[in-house]
Structure formats: structure tokens, C-alpha cells
């Protein structure tokens, strides 16, 4: 989920590209995050948090003069935590990472 500083930076990139006369704009922004802690039982305690303001951010980019043409998403893993299970064999795994949204815009007019 982009911080306000990251959103400001991406909006400035959008304005600069529009002012240059670029035909296409491609932005990447974090749209959700997967985090967690190992539990005392050795199982996964994952937590998924999504950004409900992505649509607002995309609307701001369109107000500059861009139209959203294509989106894509990918999970970017940043690591995992494992812990031994207490009453069984094996380990519990907690994955960490975020979902990156890739947004391609076309210049209007």
C-alpha cells in the first residue's frame, strides 16, 4: 500500500510524463500485504491487509489526463518464517510479501 509520499511521487511522475507528451504511462504500486507471526503451536498466523484507496489513486492519475488501459498483479515474496510444530512433525510457515499492481495508462487526446 503506497505511503502518501509514494503516492505523491507516482502522481508527479504521471504529471511529468503527461507534460512531456508521452503516449503511455506505466506505474507500479503496492495494493496489499501479507504478513504474520509464527504461533506458539508452530502453525501459520498470516494476516492479509489490502488497500481500499487504490481506486481513488487511479482516479487521480486519470484526472491528469490518462486512461487506464491494462492492469496486472503479482505477489512479491519478501521472505518466510518457519517454526516447529509442538504436537506433530513438520513446520509451520508464514510467508511475507506484497501484491504489486502494474497499471498501464494511455494518454487521452
pLDDT recorded at residue 95: 75
Contact by Cβ (8 Å): 27, 105? yes
- Number of independent structural domains in the chain: 1
pLDDT recorded at residue 42: 53
Going residue by residue through the chain (109 aa), what tens digit of pLDDT does each one get? 678 899 999 999 999 999 999 999 999 999 988 776 655 555 556 677 787 788 999 999 999 999 999 999 999 988 776 666 556 666 667 777 889 999 999 999 7
Q: Is the pTM of this model over 0.85?
A: no
52 lies in which domain range?
4-107
- Cα 48 to chain centroid distance, Å, stands at 12
**Cα separation, 10 vs 58, whole angstroms:** 10
Amino acid at each position: 500500500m503506497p505511503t502518501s509520499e509514494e503516492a505523491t511521487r507516482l502522481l508527479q511522475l504521471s504529471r511529468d510524463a503527461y507534460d512531456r507528451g508521452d503516449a503511455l504511462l506505466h506505474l507500479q504500486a503496492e495494493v496489499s500485504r501479507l504478513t504474520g507471526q509464527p504461533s506458539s503451536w508452530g502453525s501459520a498466523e498470516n494476516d492479509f491487509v489490502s488497500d481500499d484507496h487504490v481506486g481513488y489513486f487511479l482516479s487521480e492519475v486519470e484526472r491528469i489526463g490518462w486512461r487506464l488501459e491494462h492492469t496486472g498483479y503479482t505477489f512479491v515474496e519478501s521472505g518466510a518464517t518457519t517454526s516447529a510444530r509442538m504436537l506433530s512433525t513438520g513446520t509451520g510457515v508464514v510467508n511475507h510479501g506484497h501484491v504489486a499492481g502494474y497499471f498501464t495508462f494511455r494518454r487521452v487526446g
